Structure 1
Amino acid sequence: MFKIMIVEDDRTIATLIAQALNKWQFQASVIEDFSRVADQFAADQPDLVLLDINLPVRDGYYWVQKIRDVSQVPVIFISSRNTNMDMVMAMNLGADDFVEKPFAMEVLIAKINALLRRTYHYQDNGSEALEHAGLTLDLKTGMAQVAGQEINLSKNEYKLLQILMRAHGEIVSRSHLLKDLWQDERFVDDNTLTVNINRLRKKIAEAGLPDYIQTKVGQGYIVP
């Protein structure tokens, strides 16, 4: 069960977030003493932090720097401060995402799930390669191989193939892929994903595995 620390001084918002997280089978903890955020972080060892900018004692910018001094745990800012400068500063100081208040709870949960997947689920966990249906992906070199024939992959092709292979048998939505590859799909032309998928398909087909990646119309892609 993933542990999520909520650093939010609006008690109503913090409680609502905690309740939603608990429904999604996360273990939520809510900060009570805003002078000891770093101490509580060290004690809880959360897997993700939700951090407001405007806080008593010290602001969120201060605390994200303290967290980054000791950990690369994912951090999502949740704030009503929504200027471009606020967002840029948050990212530059080490945040992984920014959610503007007021927000829909399902949007926050979706962002949390996506960030947890990127950070933990898609790690290689000590494995050096993925193998499925005749294709091997070397996680150290980024090279794919089919029956001894090597396939040179671009950075995005490698990421796409890794995500799809790890989720083999399950449909992965275009939105999911866009978020995992480019963090914020709003700034990416949807055609970019199509181009990358088509190039990846062509390379795998030329190596002897046609239809390795299949399209599910209106749903996404799957490696069956």
Structure 2
Amino acid sequence: MFKILIIEDDLKMREIILENIHRWGFDGLYVKDFNQVFNEFINYEPHLILLDINLPSYDGFYWCGKIREVSKVPIIFISSRNSNMDIVMAINMGGDDFVQKPFSLEVLMAKINALLRRTYDYMSTEANVIEHRNLILNLKDSTVSYNDKKVELTKNEFKILYVLMKDKGSIISRDSIMRSLWEDENFVDDNTLTVNINRLRKKLEDLDIENYIQTKKGQGYIII
């Protein structure tokens, strides 16, 4: 699970962001003691940081510099300061993106997802295949095989099966699967997911494997 550290002085703002992060299935933590920002970063080991410029004691530029001394973790600046100088300073200090307040939570989450994808290739540290119950998903050519049969999967079919096989034994919600199908800010709706699930099931049936993906009504899908 990706961990996101929020360094934001506005209590209401950071609680709203934290709630939204949790809704997306990420782990989140916000800094309470702004004299301990660096220690919070070291102890929490986040995959991404949301960093305001205006902070007590030291500003966001200072903390960005301190973090960049030891880590390349993605940093998104979130600030009401929007002069060209502020944006240039944020990027020069090591920020990866800049979001101006007030902002849409949907836009912020799209940027978070895009930056996480660019930074942590979800297949980069995996083996070339995933196998479960003799079904083999090839991560290099997006094919799935069972016994002596093999079929090709579309990009969305592949991602759905990857998510379900990677967390086999766990119920994966429809919302979680739809989020995995996003490409940058292109939204995948509920109907698109249903169509892709049905096509994927048909292809698995063509391999002579039935009921591989089970529906948990009102909860999502699971591979057992």
Give the 3 Å change call, closer, same or farther, for CA 21–138 of structure 1 in structure 2. same
| 1:178–1:185 CA contact under 8 A, matched in 2 | no
Q: Return the alpha-carbon distance in structure 2 between the equivalents of residues 83 and 61 of structure 1.
A: 23
Give the 3 Å change call, closer, same or farther, for CA 141–176 of structure 1 in structure 2. same
Give the 3 Å change call, closer, same or farther, for CA 15–22 of structure 1 in structure 2. closer
Give 1:130 deviation, angstroms: 0.5
Q: Return the alpha-carbon distance in structure 2 between the equivalents of residues 130 and 82 of structure 1.
A: 37
SS at match of 1:145: strand
User: Is 1:21 aligned with 2:32?
Assistant: no
- Paired residues, what number? 193
**Counterpart of 1:181?**
181
SS at match of 1:191: helix
Equivalent in 88, 112, 130 of residue 96 of structure 1: 112
Which amino acid is the alignment partner of residue 59 of structure 2?
A: D
Which amino acid is the alignment partner of residue 51 of structure 1?
A: F
**Counterpart of 1:63?**
90
Give 1:170 deviation, angstroms: 0.3
Structure 1 length-normalised TM: 0.65
User: Is 1:33 aligned with 2:59?
Assistant: yes
User: Is 1:45 aligned with 2:71?
Assistant: yes
Structure with more helix by fraction:
1
Q: Provide Cα deviations, 1:96-150, integer angstroms capped at 9, x if missing partner.
A: 359xxxxxxxxxxxxxxxx869965943514111001111111111111111211
Q: Return the alpha-carbon distance in structure 2 between the equivalents of residues 62 and 4 of structure 1.
A: 22
1:202-221 map, 5 Å:
202-221=202-221
Q: Return the alpha-carbon distance in structure 2 between the equivalents of residues 83 and 47 of structure 1.
A: 21
Which 5+ residue runs of structure 1 have no aligned equivalent? 69-74, 99-114
Q: Return the alpha-carbon distance in structure 2 between the equivalents of residues 47 and 174 of structure 1.
A: 29
Give 1:83 deviation, angstroms: 11
Give the 3 Å change call, closer, same or farther, for CA 37–197 of structure 1 in structure 2. same
Q: Return the alpha-carbon distance in structure 2 between the equivalents of residues 44 and 215 of structure 1.
A: 45
Equivalent in 32, 35, 54 of residue 80 of structure 2: 54
SS at match of 1:195: helix
**Counterpart of 1:105?**
none
**Counterpart of 2:22?**
none
Q: Return the alpha-carbon distance in structure 2 between the equivalents of residues 168 and 119 of structure 1.
A: 25
Give 1:81 deviation, angstroms: 3.5
Q: Return the alpha-carbon distance in structure 2 between the equivalents of residues 166 and 121 of structure 1.
A: 15
Q: Return the alpha-carbon distance in structure 1 between the equivalents of residues 70 and 2 of structure 2.
A: 11
**Counterpart of 1:158?**
158
Q: Return the alpha-carbon distance in structure 1 between the equivalents of residues 185 and 61 of structure 2.
A: 36
User: Is 1:130 aligned with 2:157?
Assistant: no
Q: Return the alpha-carbon distance in structure 1 between the equivalents of residues 118 and 204 of structure 2.
A: 24
**Counterpart of 1:79?**
101
Give 1:184 deviation, angstroms: 8.5
Q: Which moved more, 1:25-34 or 1:203-212?
A: 25-34
